[in-house]
Amino acid sequence: MHRISLSKQLLILLLVLSLLPTALLSILTNNAAQNSMSNSIGMYSQKIIDYLGYNINFSFTSVNATVRNISMNDSIKQLIKKHTSLSSLDKIAVTKDIDKYFRDLVMKDNFISSLHILSQDQIIYSSVSPLNSSLNANQIDLYLQSEEFRHSDVIKSFDTNTDLNSNWFSISNPNSQGIYIGLKASDNAYLILSVNPDYYFNLINATSISKDLNVLIIDKQDNIVLSDKKDLIFSNFLESNVPYKQQLIRESSNLISDTKIYNKKLVSYFNSENNWTIIIEAPIYSLMSDFYKSLLKLLIIIITLMFLIILASIYFSRKIVLPIKRMANYMDCIKKGNLNILEEVQTNIPVSNKEIDLLVTGFIDMLSTLNKLICNAKEVTAVVERNTLALQDVSTNTLNSATEIESAIESITQGTISQCAKIEQSVCLTNELSHTINEVSSFLSQLQSTCQFTVDTSKNAQIDIEMLSEHSLNNLCISNSINLQVIELGNQVDKVNSILTIIKNISEQTNLLALNASIEAARAGVAGRGFVIVANEIKSLALQTINAINHISSLLKDIELQKQATLTDLNKSIKIFENEAPLVQKTTDNLKNIFKQMDSINNYIVDVHSLLDNCVIKQNNFNANIKDISYISQESVSIAQEVNSEAIQQTTYANQILLVSDALSKSVTNLKQSYERFNY
């Protein structure tokens, strides 16, 4: 396993203890300075943006007032209202008046560069300030009359502006690029003025103190209309796709002015009266360049201190490690067997402090003690060697004796074990015989209980058969009696049939009499109507009687059929009872014979059971004697085994003593070889 040397460890420790506080202090100082300077620069930047915003708002207010004054001029109003109806001379006169008014105006107010009046998508008047003769009015007029401008958001903003305020806008077209302000003069007429950007550029350049600092004026469409960087003008502020710009636009809509840090940039913004946003943005590193230069100097000083600390660490680590390293070399000499180094240790190890002095003194004492220890070990080794040889002789004699005793006991043990095995075989045979006798006895007991149960069952069956015979005779008598009653019932039914025949004949005669009465009543005419009714009733009763007789006759026929069936079944039952009587008598005789035979079998079983009990008693006595013999044999085997075990144990101890003496002899030899390595 690779280990770092003590000198390197001390060097690393000293470096960490010295550099870590310095590094932490530097980091904390840097952060505190950055925060302090960021706050101070932020306050200064906020002052600048407020000053710039105030001046720009002042110019916006002045320009708005100028626009309102121009819109109130009578000549301009006249031109807007009547430009289609004015004669050429009148137009020239009005135009001259407007030119004179505009020149006087721009001489007093240098914010305006040109004036354009747009009516019904046509320029009806255009003039440029003498102070801005380089401005191309024709190109501006062409753009203001173009379809692009006509359908732009600027015209839409004019139409939706109902409070008669001026609208500020920018045009990025290369030929008419610039800042403009417009006002809707009538339904189809617009006053449009171009704004002189020189004043704003002067303000922006006065505000910009560094090339890394950006001053921007952004319109409502997030277009950069003014900046100290010419290449940024009329580009979109959000096209750079920097996340903080989105956040800046959202936050600046809620506050008039503020300063914040976005993405390591200090950003100050101001919302002007015309809803344009003035922004000053500068990287933190650019604003704090002087601080970073000072920080670089501090870093050089720290590196120099680190170098000095490393040199000091190396010096002190060498001073601490050198005595320990030399002492390690002397320890290696001791490991190789050289103990004659006492004087070298005292002279060659430099003692620079109290701890090293204690270490050297302890090492010298250890070396002296080790010399004495080796001398004593040599004397003890000689004594141990002599005793070891004597111990080997004794262990050898003991081992031989134990081996002879072990063989004699082994032969005794084998004989005793053989005798025990034969006794165990006899015990097993007697146990099997006892088990067989027990099984036979158990079987006889079951057989005896079965015979007794059979006897009891035969007695009960005999009683049941006798009762069955008596019941059969009774059933036979009852069946004969029922047979006579059924025959008598048939005779009574025959009598009822004869009576019904008589009633039926009477009913038929009554029906004939009723028919004759009806005929006679019909002959009697009106006087016989009452008889007709009575005759009909009698006829009806006669018919009902005949129907009832027919119904009763059918019932009697059914009764006759059931009587015949009952007689048939009774005759069969009587025959069955007559046939069962001799069978019952025969069964009763058989049960009596079974009862006698089972009783004799039961007596035989009792005799056999008593003989088996005598055998069990004798077998138990035999088993008791066998157990005594077996117990004595087992005790003999156990004693022989114990003696054999002790003999084996004695042999083992003798072997162990012999092995230990051999090992001790080897150890003594190794010990002699070990201290013979040392030079003392």
pLDDT classification of 230: cutoffs 50, 70, 90 = confident
| 141 contact partners, CB below 8 Å, separation of at least 6 | 116, 123, 126
Query: What residues contact 489, with CB distance under 8 A and at least 6 apart?
Result: 559, 563
The whole-angstrom separation of Cα 366 and Cα 362 is 6
Predicted confidence at residue 340, as pLDDT, reads: 74
DSSP state of 400: H
Q: Give, as one character, the DSSP assignment of residue 130.
A: G
Higher pLDDT, residue 272 or 571: 272
User: Which pLDDT value is given to residue 253?
Assistant: 63
Q: What is the pLDDT of residue 109?
A: 76
Give CA–CA dist 153/144, Å, rounded: 13
Q: Are strands 224-227 and 257-262 parallel, antiparallel or unpaired?
A: unpaired
Structure tokens at 572: 């069969």
Contact (CB, 8 A) for 321 and 13: no
74-83, 282-291, 646-655: least confident range: 646-655
HSE-up (13 A, CA, CB side) for residue 128: 12
Mean pLDDT value across residues 38-48: 78
Q: What is the mean pLDDT of residues 404-418?
A: 65
**Residue 59 above 80 pLDDT?**
yes
564-568 LR contacts (CB < 8 Å, sep 24+): 566/482, 566/486, 567/483, 567/486, 567/487
- The confidence score (pLDDT) of residue 477 equals 77
How many Å apart are CA 658 and CA 326, to the nearest integer?
A: 47
Token pair of 573 as six digits: 């039952």
Which helix (H) or strand (E) segment holds residue 283: the answer is: strand 277-283
Structure token digits, residue 216: 């921007």
What crossing angle do the helices spanning 529-676 and 354-524 adopt, rounded to 10°?
Answer: 170
pLDDT of 246 reads 63
| pLDDT over 70 at 504, yes or no | yes
Assign 637 a pLDDT band (cuts: 50, 70, 90). low
Q: What is the mean pLDDT of the chain?
A: 75
Q: pLDDT value at position 500?
A: 73
- Torsion of the alpha carbons at 96, 97, 100 and 106, rounded to the nearest 10: -120
Query: Does the pLDDT of residue 301 top 80, yes or no?
Result: yes
Which of 180-184, 206-210, 440-444 shows the lowest mean pLDDT across its residues?
440-444
**Mean pLDDT, residues 60-69 taken together:** 86
Q: Which residue has the higher pLDDT, 215 or 243?
A: 215
Average pLDDT over residues 509-521: 77
Residues of the chain with CATH 3.30.450: 73-194
Residue 67 has pLDDT above 70, yes or no: yes
Query: Tell me: domain 73-194, CATH 3.30.450, correct?
Result: yes
Q: What is the mean pLDDT of residues 221-231?
A: 83
Task: Give mean pLDDT, residues 317-329.
Answer: 75
Say if residues 250 and 29 touch (Cβ distance below 8 Å): no
| Percent above pLDDT 70 for the chain | 68
pLDDT at 653: 66
Model confidence at 416, pLDDT cuts 50, 70, 90, reads: low
Residue 224 has pLDDT above 80, yes or no: yes
Q: Give residues with Cβ within 8 angstroms of 556, minimum separation 6.
A: 493, 496, 497, 500
The average pLDDT across 389-397 equals: 68
Residue whose entry in the numeric block shows the structure tokens 């035999």 = 622
pLDDT tens for each residue of 128-156: 888 877 778 888 888 888 888 888 888 88
């906020």: which residue's tokens?
Answer: 46
Is CATH 1.10.287 the classification given to domain 373-675? Answer: yes
Q: Please, how many CA atoms are within 13 Å of residue 210, restricted to the half-sphere of its CB?
A: 13
Which of 51-85 are b and which e, b meaning 16 or more Cβ less than 10 Å from the residue's Cβ? Answer: ebbebbbebbeebbebbeebbebebbebbbeebee
Portions of the chain given CATH number 1.10.287: 373-675
Q: Rg (Cα) of the chain, in Å, rounded?
A: 74
pLDDT in tens, 427-458: 676 677 667 667 666 766 776 677 677 667 76
Q: Give the span between the Cα atoms of 261 and 247, in whole angstroms.
A: 11
Cα–Cα nearest to 281, from 296, 266, 295, 261: 266
Task: Give the model's confidence band at 644: pLDDT under 50 very low, under 70 low, under 90 confident, else very high.
Answer: low
pLDDT in tens, 534-551: 777 777 777 777 777 777
pTM, entire model: 0.43
**pLDDT higher than 80, residue 93:** yes
Question: Could you write out the DSSP letters of every residue in 591-612?
Answer: HHHHHHHHHHHHHHHHHHHHHH
- pLDDT, average across residues 210-230: 82
Q: Which residue has the tokens 């807007």?
A: 80
Which residues are CB-contacts of 122 (< 8 A; sequence separation ≥ 6)?
A: 145
pLDDT tens sequence across 394-410 = 667 666 666 766 666 66
